Structure formats: structure tokens, C-alpha cells
Amino acid sequence: MEQHRTRPAQYGPRRSGAPLPAQGRGGAAAARPPMGRVAGRPVGRPGQPARPAPGAGSPVARIVRALRGMPNPRLTGLGSGLFCAAVMTLLGFLDGLLFGASLTVYGVLFVPVSLLTALWVRRGDLLTAPVVVPIAFAVGLVPVAESGDGLGGRLMGLVTALATEAGWLYGGTLVAGSAVIVRRIRLVRRRAAARNRPPA
């Protein structure tokens, strides 16, 4: 006679083979993201200083920021001539008071003034900068040049100073002309790029 085996009933809740959720396995510790990542983005460890951006403290970056912070006026051709002549005349008087009318000091100061004149003139009057800087050099040289008796002596002193300081005169004019050429090339390239840009 065949006997059927009967499995004894198991008391208590029946456990299924499905895995428990994260809250059941580890609670809040399992749901916590790993250190170093918050919402999918890596973050620095506590106590680790933030690294500065590359090049933020380099000398070149500081010079660029200083140049951008300088005033950037746009002078007309006449305005650039008046600016250069006024500055050189003022520097000539200061040279006579502080350095005993040194022509070398006056020539050295003429170079940065020529550069500023070429950089601050507006785009439509770029070609006037190399013309006005030699005139301003001669105007500012009046209080520095040696003066003789009368008008003739003063003119002779001015001509002598121009002849002896011709190197600084040519140097400042060359600096102004070079700056004007660079600005002109950049302006032409910018216009060509804007002309070749496809319409939106």
C-alpha cells in the first residue's frame, strides 16, 4: 500500500527569496553616498583646500588684468595731438625742476607717452598718431632746451636739442607707428572675419 508523504506545516511567516531593499540591509548607512561624491559630482575631502584655477596667479595674468583695468579713452586726431603736447610740456617742466633739464630723462619719458597716444587714438584717426608725436616732442622740449639771449638764442637751443636727442625722437615715433600698424592689422582682420561670417 502506497503511503503519501506529508510535509509538516511550518508555522510563522514565510520568507521569500527576494533580496531586501537597501533600507532593510544597511539602513541609512547603505543609502548614504560614498565620500567624495555628492549627487554624482566629485567633491573635495573635508579639510582639503580648494585648488586655484591654473594661471590665476601667474605674472602674465596679473599684467593682463592690470592693462584691462587701465582707462581706455578714444581720442580724435586733434585730441591725441593736444594730449601728447600737453603731457610732454608738463614733463618738460618737471624735468627742469627735478632733474636739472636732463634731455635723456625727457627722451625716456617721451617713449611711453608716444605709445599711449597711439593706443588711445580712435580707429578712424590711427594714422595721425605717428604725425603728432614728433610735434609734441618739439613742443615739450622748449622748457628743457638751453636758451640763449633773445628769440634767436632760444631757437638755436631748441634746434641743438632736437639734433642731440634725435634718437629718442625716432624711437618714440617708431613705437607709435608700430602700435598703429598692429591696431590697423587687427582692425582689418576683424572686419574681414565679420564680412565672411555666415548670416544667422
Q: How many domains does the chain have?
A: 1
Q: Containing domain of residue 88, as a range?
A: 75-196
Instruction: Give the model's pLDDT for residue 9.
Output: 53
Q: What cell was used for 75?
A: 581720442
Instruction: Give the model's pLDDT for residue 55.
Output: 47
Alpha-carbon distance of 112 to 155, in angstroms, equals: 26
Instruction: Give the pairing type, strands 41-42 and 37-38.
Output: antiparallel
In-domain check, residue 31: no
In-domain check, residue 27: no
In-domain check, residue 118: yes
Instruction: Give the model's pLDDT for residue 81.
Output: 93
CA quadruple 116, 120, 123, 125: dihedral positive or negative? negative
Per-position pLDDT tens, the chain of length 200 = 445 555 555 555 555 555 555 544 445 444 555 554 444 544 545 555 555 554 456 776 676 566 566 666 788 989 999 999 999 999 999 998 999 889 999 999 999 999 999 999 998 889 999 999 999 999 999 888 877 777 788 888 888 889 999 999 999 999 999 999 999 999 888 888 888 877 76
Alpha-carbon distance of 187 to 189, in angstroms, equals: 5
Stated pTM of the model: 0.62
Q: What cell was used for 106?
A: 625727457
In-domain check, residue 142: yes
